[in-house]
Amino acid sequence: MRWCFYISLVLLMGCGASPPQYRTTSHSVSRSKRAKTTKRRKKRRRLAKMPKSMKQRCQNVLPLFHRVAKRHNLEPALLVGIARVESGFRPQVVSRAGAVGLMQVMPSTGAHFRCGNLRDVAENAECGARVLRRYLDRYDGNLTYGLSAYNAGFRIPNRARKHRRLPKNMGYVEKVLKARARYLREGCS
């Protein structure tokens, strides 16, 4: 009975390989394929202009972080720490979860805070600072709970605060605080 199934499967799928398809003209590339190729080239050029070292990328966004931090009454070193951990100062990064840009803001969070274009470096930094300020205010300036909420939303720090424990994502908080201390100690290195 099984062999009948396999024979019918082979007959349905085809027994042999199809003959190779050859292009007859040089103009057979579709417009959509050309558009994709053009987009790739533009992206490569844009990435080629971006500094390769983390130190250079950090120095490029540092003035922006100082302006944004002053506007939201935050420490610039905290924004530097978050950007170092979240994106490595790469503004075009998109995480597996869908977070976008330098400060890795989720699009739903950006929409909630009316942030605008999250792919724009300045608007992303502004939105990240606004979100962080809101979380720090909610947790009375406690960096541990505020950074935990920035990373995972309100649920984890609320549960940890209720049971008087550290949040489950304490590893993230430690990484950001280490990056912040490194910046305060050595600058963009």
Catalytic site residues? Answer: 86
Rounded Cα distance, 42 and 108, in Å:
28
Can you tell me whether residue 142 is helix, strand or coil? coil
Environment class of 151 (CB within 10 Å of its CB; exposed 0-12, middle 13-18, buried 19+): buried
Query: For residue 169, which amino acid is it?
Result: N
Q: Two tokens at 72?
A: 């939201």
Rounded Cα distance, 101 and 118, in Å:
6
Contacts 24+ apart (CB under 8 A), 45-49: 46/92, 47/92
Q: What is the 3-state secondary structure (H, E, C) of 42-93?
A: HHHHHHHHCCCCHHHHHHHHHHHHHHHHHHCCCCHHHHHHHHHHHCCCCCCC
Q: At what angle do helices 76-86 and 121-138 cross, to 10 degrees?
A: 110
